[in-house]
């Protein structure tokens, strides 16, 4: 991992944050970090981010842009200066945790999802400090990215993500033009029987697979329930989710002893 | 279609194969829940918002 130390040192002040994540235990990880002389930030992936990103082998790297969108993924050997500098544009050189004074109000509202309030505070700050403009720019960029991703979600059939995301995001958008876009998503879903049925099926998938099976019998039970749910949904987004889950359970079953 | 997917996975390797990792480029990073953020002035992943973040999944072994 020396490359991570180098990247961290070289690009930290230009907007890059290096973050290593592991799902292993702390004791051995801490010992390893010390032995390797790692100076970059690291943490424990307890929320299953690796699984959500479809990571099948370690090490694996993802480059996430300032707006929260994944801009590159691959083996760490693929991360080089050209890749990093290509995506540094627009990244905050002053991270949120260094925002002080009036900028703290912007940060607080921003992290709370109160985008309207954050932008108002940024505009106020911009009257006396150019940093207010940069802060406002980042808030706008992140907001646009989140709205666009919800619009993309509903177009590809991920109705549940679109619905829940829109409901959550709408709360902090009062008076902003994005409010209408986000409310249009929830309105569309509420009025469309087919979209609501797809969302219901997605909720059912989550319910069926809520507990990780510990026995082959439990894998079978979940697979059977999912296969029943799949009928008539082949080729849809939720159909793809069901098929992926069944494959996952099939592989898990092969690894279980009983 | 599902059965044939499983059967072909078995046929090729004799072992159930992992599906190809979905290409996530262009998608929004999911909500990140991490613990024990160390060697960082940030107190949470959210405080890294607005930065270009290089995430590397690793293990001590």
Residue A25 confidence (pLDDT) above 80: yes
Q: Is B51 in Cβ contact with A66 (below 8 Å)?
A: yes
Residue A56 confidence (pLDDT) above 70: yes
Domain count, chain B: 1
Distance CA A52, CA A209 (A): 14
Distance CA A185, CA A247 (A): 31
ipTM, 2 dp? 0.84
Q: Is B37 in Cβ contact with A41 (below 8 Å)?
A: yes
Q: Is B12 on the interface with A (CB under 8 A)?
A: no
Confidence band, pLDDT 50/70/90 cuts, at residue A51: confident
Q: Is A26 in Cβ contact with B36 (below 8 Å)?
A: yes
Contacting residues of A for B14, CB less than 8 Å apart: none
Range of the structural domain that residue B38 is part of? 22-61
- The C-alpha of A243 sits at a distance from chain B's nearest C-alpha, in angstroms, of 6
Q: In sequence order, what E strands does chain A have?
A: 16-22, 41-45, 60-64, 70-74
pLDDT tens profile A69-91: 999 999 999 999 999 999 999 99
Can the peptide bond before residue A59 be classed as cis, meaning omega within 30 degrees of 0? yes
Q: Is residue B9 part of a domain?
A: no
Q: At what angle do helices A237-255 and A193-208 cross, to 10 degrees?
A: 10
Residue A54: the pLDDT is: 85
Q: Average pLDDT of chain A?
A: 94
Residue A176: the pLDDT is: 96
Q: Is A19 in Cβ contact with B40 (below 8 Å)?
A: yes
Q: Is A70 in Cβ contact with B35 (below 8 Å)?
A: no
Contacting residues of B for A41, CB less than 8 Å apart: 37-40, 42
Q: Is A149 in Cβ contact with B27 (below 8 Å)?
A: yes
A55, A84, A97, best to mutate vs chain B, most B CBs in 10 Å: A97
CB–CB of A50/A62 below 8 Å? no
- The C-alpha of A186 sits at a distance from chain B's nearest C-alpha, in angstroms, of 19
3-state secondary structure of A208: helix
Residue B16: the pLDDT is: 38
Which of A10, A42, A39 is CA-nearest to residue A28?
Answer: A42
Residue A18 confidence (pLDDT) above 70: yes
**Domain A2-87, second-level architecture:** 3-Layer(aba) Sandwich (3.40)
Residue A52: the pLDDT is: 87
Q: Is A36 on the interface with B (CB under 8 A)?
A: no
- The residue extents of the domains of chain A are 2-87, 96-191, 194-255
Which of A78, A74, A44 is CA-nearest to residue A60?
Answer: A74
Distance CA B59, CA B54 (A): 16
Measured between CB atoms, which of A56, A60, A64 is closest to B29? A64
Q: Is B37 in Cβ contact with A24 (below 8 Å)?
A: no
Distance of CA A237 to CAs A218, A244, B15, Å? 25, 11, 27
* Residue whose structure tokens are 């099926």: A201
Residue A230 confidence (pLDDT) above 90: yes
The whole-number average pLDDT for the span A26-37 is: 95
Sheet containing A60-64: order of strands:
A70-74, A60-64, B52-57, A16-22, A41-45, B34-38
Q: Is A96 in Cβ contact with B49 (below 8 Å)?
A: yes
Residue B8 confidence (pLDDT) above 70: no
Residue B53 confidence (pLDDT) above 60: yes
pLDDT tens profile A112-148: 999 999 999 999 999 999 999 999 999 999 999 999 9
Residue A1: the pLDDT is: 64
Residue A29 confidence (pLDDT) above 50: yes
């Amino acid at each position: 991992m020396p490359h991570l130390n180098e990247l961290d040192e070289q690009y930290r002040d230009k907007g890059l944050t290096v973050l290593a994540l592991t799902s292993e235990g702390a004791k051995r990880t801490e010992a390893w970090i010390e032995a390797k002389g790692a100076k970059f930030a690291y943490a424990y992936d307890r929320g299953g981010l690796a699984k959500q990103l479809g990571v099948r082998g370690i090490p694996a790297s993802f480059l996430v842009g300032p707006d929260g969108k994944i801009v590159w993924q691959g083996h760490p050997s693929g991360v080089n200066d050209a890749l990093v500098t290509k995506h540094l544009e627009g990244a905050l050189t002053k991270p949120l945790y260094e925002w002080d004074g009036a900028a703290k109000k912007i940060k607080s509202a921003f992290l709370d999802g109160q985008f309207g309030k954050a932008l108002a505070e940024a505009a106020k700050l911009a009257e006396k400090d150019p940093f207010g403009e940069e802060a406002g720019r980042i808030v706008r960029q992140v907001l646009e990215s989140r709205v666009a991703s919800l619009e993309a979600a509903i177009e590809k059939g991920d109705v549940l993500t679109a619905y829940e995301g829109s409901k959550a995001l709408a709360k902090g958008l009062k008076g902003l033009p994005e409010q209408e876009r986000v409310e249009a998503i929830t309105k569309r879903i509420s009025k469309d029987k087919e979209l609501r049925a797809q969302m219901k099926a997605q909720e059912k998938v989550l319910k069926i697979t809520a507990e990780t099976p510990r026995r082959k019998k439990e894998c079978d039970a979940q697979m059977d329930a999912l296969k029943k749910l799949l009928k008539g949904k082949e080729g849809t987004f939720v159909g793809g989710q069901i098929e992926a889950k069944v494959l996952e359970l099939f592989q898990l079953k092969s690894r279980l002893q009983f | 279609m599902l059965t044939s997917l499983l059967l072909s996975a078995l046929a090729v390797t004799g072992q159930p194969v992992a599906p190809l990792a979905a290409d996530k480029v262009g998608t929004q990073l999911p909500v990140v829940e991490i613990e024990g953020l160390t060697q960082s002035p940030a107190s949470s992943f959210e405080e890294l918002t607005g930065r270009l973040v290089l995430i590397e999944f690793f293990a001590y072994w």
